[in-house]
Amino acid sequence: MTETVQWMADGTPYSPRFGDRYHSEAAHALAQAEQVFLAGCGLPRAWAGQPQWRILETGFGFGLNFLVTWHAWQQDPARPALLHFVSTEAFPIAAADLLEQARKFPHLLPLAEELAAQWWGLLPGVHRLRLAGGRVLLSLLVGDSQTMLRQHELVADSIYLDGFSPARNPDMWSLHTLKAVARCARRGTRLATWTIAAQLRRDLAQCGFEVRKVPGVPPKRDNLQASFAPHWEPRKAPLWPMGAQALPARLAGGGGHAAI
Ligand SMILES: C[S@@+](CC[C@H](N)C(=O)[O-])C[C@H]1O[C@@H](n2cnc3c(N)ncnc32)[C@H](O)[C@@H]1O
């Protein structure tokens, strides 16, 4: 059973469950993905020359942030060999809705079609989707963000927080969820989001993030960026059992050969 999406007269997708829109109209939605999230985490510059880059997102929704990130990775000659995008989603939408939205962004449509071909059977649990010949991994944690993040060990280089508005979707922004997010951060991990709610800023600071308001992307006046810089020593991050921490030899060596 996939999540019900209502399409508004202006073409924006709306969630009856949360009483909120997934995105603003197309141009704003794209600008938000590109500027609030991708640029808000210093990408693509931050990943240049790195062997891999790991992004954690709360709230996969239509995957617009994912598609924009994948597209930026695809276009970047200095891209990491492996892009691992991990995203939580409690209520996956149908592939047909995902494609309906992606048709508004012709440059993203081929990527959305590749994604949609694997977008099925998303029962609660972890789903690993191999895209771009295995160079882009999408780990979908289907379930509640806080619960799923507590159950899995992962380290993120960038974090996108993208729930519905805190008033309508308080679980996604609760201190407990943010603590579960923070345990995935390494020192220096950058985080970006579109809401500057005072409680969120206080809670992120309590979790070890240095938080700053930055000029927003219309219709928002301000957005939020943060870096993980706790005053305490975070516990040493374990290896990522979801697979991407140890790079496959063919991705690690810039095209070299390995005898097995
Ligand atoms: C604003 S939409 C995300 C848009 C998305 N990032 C994109 O690029 O298309 C918020 C998403 O959070 C999901 N969500 C809400 N509460 C959740 C929870 N407790 N755990 C996991 N996902 C949740 C919703 O189902 C919805 O898909």
Domain ranges of the chain: 30-232
Quickly count: other Cβ atoms within 10 Å of residue 121's Cβ.
Answer: 8
DSSP symbol at 256: -
**Cα(15) to centroid of ligand 1, in Å?**
10
Please, what is the angle between helix 109-117 and helix 95-102, to 10°? Answer: 170
Mean confidence (pLDDT) of the chain:
92
For the Cβ of 171 lying below 6 angstroms from any atom of ligand 1, the answer is yes
Residue that has been written with the tokens 């345990």 in this structure: 183
pLDDT at residue number 174: 98
In the predicted model, what is the mean pLDDT of residues 20-40? 96
Q: Residue 103: CB partners within 8 Å, gap ≥ 6?
A: 109
**Cα(244) to centroid of ligand 1, in Å?**
23
Kindly give the number of the ligand 1 atom that is closest to the alpha carbon of 145. Answer: 20
For residue 245, the SS3 value is coil
CA angle 36, 38, 41 (to 5 degrees): 85
Mutate to test the pocket of ligand 1, among 169, 176, 195, 220 (most ligand atoms within 8 A of CB): 169
CA angle 83, 229, 58 (to 5 degrees): 45
Residue that has been written with the tokens 């995902």 in this structure: 98
User: Which residue's CA is the nearest one to ligand 1's atom 18?
Assistant: 144
Kindly give the number of the ligand 1 atom that is closest to the alpha carbon of 65. Answer: 8
CA angle 252, 253, 254 (to 5 degrees): 100
User: Which tens digits make up the pLDDT trace of 184-232?
Assistant: 999 999 999 999 999 999 999 999 999 999 999 888 899 999 999 999 9
Q: In what order do the strands lie in the sheet with 20-21?
A: 6-7, 13-15, 20-21
Residue that has been written with the tokens 């592939």 in this structure: 95
User: Which tens digits make up the pLDDT trace of 114-145?
Assistant: 999 999 999 999 999 999 999 999 999 999 99
pLDDT at residue number 146: 97
For the Cβ of 20 lying below 6 angstroms from any atom of ligand 1, the answer is no
**Per the CATH hierarchy, to which homologous superfamily does domain 30-232 belong?**
Vaccinia Virus protein VP39 (3.40.50.150)
Residue that has been written with the tokens 């979790």 in this structure: 207
Helix (H), strand (E) at residue 21: strand 20-21
Q: DSSP for 146-165, please give it.
A: HHHHHH----EEEEEE--S-
pLDDT at residue number 31: 95
Helix (H), strand (E) at residue 252: helix 249-252
Show the tokens assigned to 192: 């970006």
For the Cβ of 37 lying below 6 angstroms from any atom of ligand 1, the answer is no
Mutate to test the pocket of ligand 1, among 17, 41, 60, 66 (most ligand atoms within 8 A of CB): 60
Q: Residue 190: CB partners within 8 Å, gap ≥ 6?
A: 40, 41, 42, 46, 157, 158, 159, 225, 226, 227, 228
Residue, of 155 and 259, whose pLDDT is higher: 155
Quickly count: other Cβ atoms within 10 Å of residue 123's Cβ.
Answer: 9
